[in-house]
Amino acid sequence: MDIINLDALAIAESIREGEISAVDATTAFLERIREVEAIVNAYINVSYEEAARRAEMIDAMLAEGRDPGPLAGVPIAVKDLLSTRGFTTTCGSRMLENFVPVYDATVVGRVGEAGMVMLGKANMDEFAMGSSTETSYFGPTRNPWNPDTVPGGSSGGSAAAVSAGEAPWALGSDTGGSIRQPAAMCGIVGMKPTYGLVSRYGLVAFASSLDQVGPMARNVGDCAALLGVIAGHDPMDSTSIPAEKVDYQGRLDGEVRGLKVGVVKEISSRGIDEGVLERFRAAVSKLEGLGMEVGEISLPSFEYALSAYYVIAPAEASSNLARFDGVRYGFRASAEGEDIWEMYDRTRSIGFGSEVKRRIILGTYVLSAGYYDAYYGQARKVRTLIVKEFERAFRTYDVLVSPTTPSVAFRLGEKVDDPLTMYLSDMCTIPVNLAGIPAISLPCGLSEGMPVGFQLMGPALGEATVLNVAYALESELGFDQRPPIGRS
């Protein structure tokens, strides 16, 4: 059986039916990691021994007639900003290179309770600040479709691992598009849930009002199933929504006839590469063929979303990252013969990479006396306008659509020295984070031989509808998610 090309739910069923064991599944993916990791660099750390022990334990429980969980034995990759007890959590930074948490993030605990096997911690842009996974202290991740290109970011390691067959699915986080953008560039499915639907407890914060954990998978069915595992109220997270649990996977029936689709003008035309637009328009036509009513809508505040985001997110980051000072935990620069202020300065200068320092400086500036109202206050007003425009749009349309990214994956090093151009990679995804609503990216074809992502957005807590429309469209598109590296 070709285990690494099975969907996650197919692996779970095969283990339940006794066709393969948890050890078989885990071993297959660990061997795949050994085979391609030197090219892809999707992981910062791989838990070879612990994963093998976990798989053996699950098989023993199954043999004894005990239930190890509904997804027993299915391997998973975890983005390296989610706390994992007894296993390093680095956030892709020198600052936390040797940090070993003493507790699991809530979502890590939930995938464990479901019986999954953690293969390792996936590479990422340092502290999730980046759109290409080139800012990682542990080296860049490469796109399995073309190793000379980026996988997107900041969840590039999670996306590349799923795409390259190094994991059947993964956990990522999305602050301004960090699940959807790499999912689009690597030709997989990735979802950013409603803010508060999935616990942030144990997630190392970048921008607390924007961060959200979400699933990344090969197809919509797997994505829905993984969301069902990690979603739900958590008293350890003050922003967690006390919503009822939903069986998202069980509600996928593909029946979408009569639903209304709005094409967002501001992020579906200007600034989008022609090849991406062609594939996007073809996918919209597929939705019409499914019996959905398609119209165009203008949301004028989206023009200011990128600017607002790059005020709000750095402002929150400057506050959240103040804790990394060399005193409490993490990296500390040598302080011999220096006072504590010099130690602070050396630790943060050496411990943080250039992009993180750039955002801390920017965030500190916009929060400073005399500039708070002019920058941060104005950005919050723009955010409110975006929220209201989404609310207005969803009074007419069931879902909104756009390309996920303005271009396909670009070459390594192409934009790393041009931050403004790099930031434009998230122009289509950022409004969703500012509004706190759910959105999914699924592959809708190829341009220049590289995957193109199609973004579906829904109202708050509208995950079931978004997933079902994505499921119906996926069936029509018939995209083969396996990159060249996965077909050898």
pLDDT above 90: residue 243 = no
**Residues recorded for the chain:** 488
Catalytic residue among 154, 158, 163, 425: 154
Catalytic residue among 93, 155, 173, 178: 178
pLDDT digits (tens, 9 = 90+) for 408-465: 999 999 999 898 899 999 999 999 999 999 999 999 999 999 999 999 999 999 999 9
374 phi, psi to nearest 5 deg: -65, -35
Cis peptide leading into residue 154 (ω within 30°): yes
pLDDT above 60: residue 98 = yes
Q: How confident is the model at residue 481 (pLDDT cuts 50, 70, 90)?
A: confident
Catalytic residue among 79, 121, 192, 286: 79
> Which architecture characterizes domain 3-257 according to CATH?
Alpha-Beta Complex (3.90)
Mean pLDDT of the chain: 96
In this prediction, residues 348-365 reach a mean pLDDT of 96
Annotated catalytic, 79?
A: yes
Residue tagged 């997989």 (tokens): 188
Annotated catalytic, 192?
A: no
pLDDT of residue 337: 57
Please name which of 110, 250, 107, 115 lies closest in space to residue 179, comparing C-alpha atoms.
107
pLDDT digits (tens, 9 = 90+) for 308-319: 999 999 999 999
pLDDT above 90: residue 485 = no
Domain ranges, ordered by start, for the chain:
3-257
pLDDT digits (tens, 9 = 90+) for 64-76: 999 999 999 999 9
Of 183-197, 326-340, 437-451, minimum mean pLDDT range: 326-340
Annotated catalytic, 381?
A: no
pLDDT digits (tens, 9 = 90+) for 408-423: 999 999 999 898 899 9
Please list, in sequence order, all residues whose beta carbon lies within 8 angstroms of the beta carbon of residue 190, skipping any fewer than 6 positions away.
Answer: 155, 159, 172, 174, 179, 180, 182, 183, 184, 214, 215, 216, 217, 223, 440, 441
pLDDT above 60: residue 193 = yes
pLDDT of residue 488: 45
